[in-house]
């Protein structure tokens, strides 16, 4: 079986991301721990298992003991509250780059927050923001399926793990270090106003594909064209008009499968 995360091995080559690491063997949700406590900028909260792991749109994030990565990065950026959701896109690019580098498999992003390969999801990102009087606090929660050998029936069709994709077990600490390094680089570019839109679009699997978006219970069929500077998905509807979709209330599926 697998070991607990060894925090001594979490040593990314970064200036501030994951320089401080708080580790739990078991916790409700690393995002909740990050929200409910005061941590310095860049702190990484990590758990070997979560009992109430949270996904987007109120879904559960199944957090099997020691097989996956369940982590949250605490940030106190000097940005307006509306821009906090862009951190999801930054994290998506970073996880994609880190996993592609380590595993030699081309990972892609399914807008807005899923990292996918071979038609299935391997990672999800949940960014939460808190508006404090001083400055906003953002929590970027990242769940990566690493060494899971199988998934429950309800997840099997759409979830996969790095083990299932590569037939190899991976040290979670190595992946955490790489993700932290990629995240710090992309985050600093973002804070420095360097455009990341093109990079995101080149990794986004939806672009130029037909999608079905469920917006507040209503389905629309459209083709994804790109993203706006605010991270909305630009789609062309069947009647030829375009629409910018905000990630808050929407789930997007490909018309032939998960994407």
Applying CB under 6 A, the residues found at the interface with ligand BTN are 29-31, 50, 53-56, 59, 61, 70-72, 113-114, 124-126, 141-143
Residue whose CB is less far from ligand BTN, 30 or 94: 30
Shortest Å, Cβ 159 to ligand BTN: 10
Q: Containing H/E element for 89?
A: helix 86-103
First to last CA, the chain: 33
Q: How far apart are CA 7 and CA 251, in angstroms?
A: 35
**Cis ω for the linkage preceding 112 (within 30 of 0):** yes
Shortest Å, Cβ 155 to ligand BTN: 12
CB-nearest residue to ligand BTN: 124
Shortest Å, Cβ 130 to ligand BTN: 15
Distances (CA, A) of 17 to 27, 105, 111, 189: 21, 25, 24, 14
Residue whose CB is less far from ligand BTN, 61 or 190: 61
Shortest Å, Cβ 70 to ligand BTN: 4
Shortest Å, Cβ 133 to ligand BTN: 25
Cβ-in-10-Å burial (0-12, 13-18, 19+) of 247 comes to buried
Is the CB of residue 147 less than 8 Å from the CB of residue 134? no
Residue whose CB is less far from ligand BTN, 16 or 24: 24
Residue whose CB is less far from ligand BTN, 28 or 136: 28
Shortest Å, Cβ 193 to ligand BTN: 27
Q: How far apart are CA 88 and CA 225, in angstroms?
A: 19
Residue whose CB is less far from ligand BTN, 223 or 246: 246
- Cross-strand pairs, 110: 114
Residue whose CB is less far from ligand BTN, 118 or 238: 118
Q: How far apart are CA 96 and CA 89, in angstroms?
A: 11
Residue whose CB is less far from ligand BTN, 26 or 198: 26
Shortest Å, Cβ 75 to ligand BTN: 14
Distances (CA, A) of 198 to 23, 83, 251, 259: 35, 17, 22, 20
Q: How far apart are CA 17 and CA 62, in angstroms?
A: 25
């Amino acid at each position: 079986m697998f070991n607990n995360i060894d925090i001594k091995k979490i040593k990314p080559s970064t200036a501030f991301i994951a320089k401080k690491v708080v580790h739990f063997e078991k916790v409700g949700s690393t995002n909740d721990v990050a929200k409910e406590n005061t941590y310095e900028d860049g702190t990484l909260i990590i758990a070997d298992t979560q009992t109430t792991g949270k996904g987007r749109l109120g879904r559960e994030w199944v957090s099997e003991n020691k097989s996956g990565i369940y982590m949250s990065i605490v940030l106190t950026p000097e940005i307006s509250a509306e821009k906090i959701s862009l951190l999801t896109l930054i994290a998506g690019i970073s996880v994609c780059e880190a996993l592609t580098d380590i595993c030699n498999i081309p990972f892609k992003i399914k807008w807005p927050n899923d990292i996918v390969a071979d038609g299935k999801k391997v990672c999800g990102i949940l960014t939460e923001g808190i508006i404090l009087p001083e400055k906003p606090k953002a929590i970027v929660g990242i769940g990566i399926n690493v060494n899971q050998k199988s998934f429950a029936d309800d997840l099997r069709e759409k979830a996969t793990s790095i083990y299932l994709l590569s037939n190899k077990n991976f040290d979670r600490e190595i992946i955490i270090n790489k993700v932290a390094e990629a995240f710090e680089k992309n985050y600093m570019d973002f804070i420095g106003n360097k455009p990341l839109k093109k990079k995101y679009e080149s990794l986004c699997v939806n672009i130029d594909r037909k999608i079905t978006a469920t917006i507040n219970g209503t389905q629309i069929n459209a083709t994804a064209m790109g993203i706006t500077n605010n991270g909305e998905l630009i789609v062309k509807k069947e009647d030829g008009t375009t629409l910018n979709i905000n990630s808050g209330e929407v789930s997007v599926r490909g018309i032939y499968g998960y994407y």
